[in-house]
A and B are shown apart, each in its own frame.
Chain A
Amino acid sequence: MSEQLLFAAEVTLNGLMAGVLYALVALGFVLIFKASGIFNYAQGVMALFAALTLVGIQQGQVPFSHLINAIFGTNIHHFPWQVPSIIAIILAAGVMVGFAWLVERYILKHLVGQPDIILFMATIGLAYFMEGFGDIMWGSEIKTLDVGLPSGLNETIDTVTYNWFGYGFFIDNLDIVAAVIAALLVAALTIFSQYSKQGRALRAVADDHSAALSVGISLRFIWVLVWSIAGFVALVAGIMWGAKSGVQFSLSLIALKALPVLMLGGFTSIPGAIIGGLIIGVGEQLFEFAIGPLIGGATQNWFAYVLALVFLIFRPQGLFGEKIIERV
């Protein structure tokens, strides 16, 4: 095989890995959208917030220390302890559940029956709020997140491919772990929504709010549940991205990467989110590899969007979305 082709294959593989992570974020969107018809723009900030909380708990940071210091003139930073990763993850997940409850209690409850677009804008407001809140609570400096995931070059793949093709593929261990975890998460969620009682209730709510209410499903419980799950997915995504590139503001921008994935895959389809994520992951890497150098590079900034846009013009409901029937 020629050098170019091998290189392209490596780019494709890396694109697939990145695509899995996009899919992971997109999954959080799909869950909330299916259960409540809300397009949750705050999903990315939730990932950032979850990661910040995790690091904060792990390192024993004092919450709101900046604020306390500013008001009382004190100088506190950390508790004199460190929390083991696994406990920190559980605690952070607990925080996300509490967050889900607060969102339901103080926002969703008051916005029932509003047009979708109002709900969408409300989540943009929520995103801004959480961004400020997260920074005030844990500080805005870049943090490193380390929960003991492997990282760096996977030498097995490197060696094997070198022996086969005479060219070693560079695949990050972290990407492999992320892909495996994402796949597990997707499988678990699918099983949950197909076979458990709550899962059935969740699909019922997604189909018709009032009909679900009339057969005795608690809408509020379902919403808290689904936002909790989305919070958990955000935590997982936050851990993966945080471990990869540090916990900082730009982490919230992965939400922006997930949006075209959703447009491509359809807002209501879990398989759509996965396949959309993979297409976009591979597509933007290959585009940058093949066309990028000709037109100045950094095409990842917009490629996914333009791809999704062009695609939508021909299929407005996305790959797996339900067909929209218009009537008067």
Chain B
Amino acid sequence: MFYREAGDFKTSYRDDNQTFPIRLDRAGYWVAIAVAFGIVPFFVNDYWVNAIFAPFFIYAIAALGLNILTGYAGQVSLGTGGFMAVGAYAVYKLMVAFPEINIIFHVLMAGGITAVVGVLFGLPSLRIKGFYLAVATLASQFFLIWLFNKVPWFYNYSASGQINAPERSVFGIIVTGPNTEAWAKYLICLVFLVGVAWMARNLTRGMTGRKWMGIRDMDIAAEIIGVNPLMAKMTAFAVSSFFVGVAGALFFAVYLGAAEAGESFGISKSFLILFMIIIGGLGSIFGSFAGAAFMVLMPVFLKNVLVGGMGWPTDLAAHFEFMIVGGLIVFFLIVEPHGLAQLWRLTKEKLRLWPFPH
């Protein structure tokens, strides 16, 4: 009964526009940030970072990126894995070529390069719509992976065809390479995630976001009221690819340490990220987080229960995971196309009225 806006009056449009209009939400948000930055780093160990936090943070960044393109701008992409690979290989080349520059800039530049590639592959979206486009984005997926496998320049002619992240540090703290401490990995991913989420929120609440959603909801009408479809779609591809590229760069440099294009960034990665935003909620920032958390936690949970608890063989558990993921996708699309985010909203709606629902 404390969770409501009654008495929390807004006297300016600025207050009315804020991200969390309800006081308790605002408090919860600041507490979460404080815990994530101030407390968790002191307690995390390798297992928690490698199994949960690092993949969660990185996938959340990628999911935010794809959600901007698919959830907000309505352009379905199945090429996310390929764009993550662009980010990964770009950051690798930059790290090797300019060791004196800070890794933070490398990651951002990798995002920028991915944005350019994304715009290039996004150009057909002007002519092609719906699942024609979805299938067309597969072209980028297959072509990019092939490129990184076949052109030795990208992996610096290494014999294994793999790329390995050299050791780099930020403010004297090692953040890439095998000697990275768990908390450093955790923090650098978190910093990027918070930055990306903040940008995503700003873009989607402003005119850029409205243009994207206009194109998504009714592209012809949007053009007639003054949205330049070329600009709207290209900015969506650029911003989305930038985020995805940053995610790919972190995935390789910080999380994996070594990568091979087909192995780490194959088509299954594209689907994984797509599933995150479907389950989490299309067109929702919170949904991107929820979906990423769900898809990271579920396999860990299943593995612990089925393999650890019930003694099933691992491959059987893996097949079971496929079934559950597929079933959940269908379930969510049938029951709640807006995903976990919508369920969360409905819960809050109920909570606001509690204990007097009428």
Contacts and interface: CB of A to CB of B under 8 A. Distances in A.
A contacting B, Cβ–Cβ less than 8 Å: yes
Interface string B309-325: 01111011001111111
Interface string A297-308: 111011001101
B334 A306 contact: no
Nearest to A141: B315
Interface stretch (A6-14, A88-96, A256-264): A256-264
Contact of A117 (B134, B136, B224, B328): B134
Contacts of A309: 124, 136, 139
B333 interface: yes
B137 to A, nearest CB: 9
Q: What secondary structure prevails in chain A residues at the interface with B?
A: helix
A262 B128 CA distance: 14
A164 to B, nearest CB: 37
Contacts of B327: 125, 129
B150 interface: yes
A133 B322 CA distance: 8
A312 B278 contact: no
B146 A132 contact: no
Interface stretch (A106-114, A149-157, A204-212): A106-114
Interface string B279-319: 00000000000000000000000000000001111011001
B330 A313 contact: no
Contacts of A327: 220
Contacts, number: 145
Which of under 10, 10 to 19, 20 to 34, or 35 or more describes the interface residues of A? 35 or more
Nearest to B330: A125
B131 A70 contact: no
Contact of A305 (B139, B221, B328): B139
Contacts of A114: 333, 337
A121 B319 CA distance: 20
B124 A70 contact: no
A238 B139 CA distance: 24
B253 interface: no
B124 A305 contact: no
A296 B150 contact: yes
B329 A136 contact: no
A110 B334 contact: yes
B330 A107 contact: yes
B234 interface: no
Given A124-B274, A263-B135, A328-B220, A312 B326 contact: no
Contact of A107 (B312, B320, B334): B334
B51 to A, nearest CB: 22
Interface string A246-282: 0000000000100110110001000000000000000
A116 interface: yes
Contact of A306 (B139, B149, B150, B321): B139
A81 to B, nearest CB: 25
24 contacts: A39-B131, A66-B316, A67-B316, A70-B313, A114-B333, A120-B76, A120-B131, A122-B329, A125-B330, A128-B323, A128-B326, A129-B327, A131-B326, A133-B319, A135-B322, A256-B267, A263-B135, A263-B136, A295-B150, A298-B150, A299-B146, A301-B146, A302-B146, A326-B220
Interface of A: 39, 66-67, 70-71, 107, 110-111, 114, 116-118, 120-122, 124-133, 135-136, 140, 256, 259-260, 262-263, 267, 295-299, 301-302, 305-306, 308-309, 312-313, 316, 326-328
Interface of B: 76, 124, 127-132, 134-136, 138-139, 142-143, 145-146, 149-151, 220-221, 224, 267, 271, 274-275, 278, 310-313, 315-316, 319-330, 333-334, 337
Instruction: Enumerate the 4 nearest inter-chain pairs by beta-carbon distance, A residue then B residue, closest first.
Output: A125-B329, A132-B322, A129-B326, A128-B326
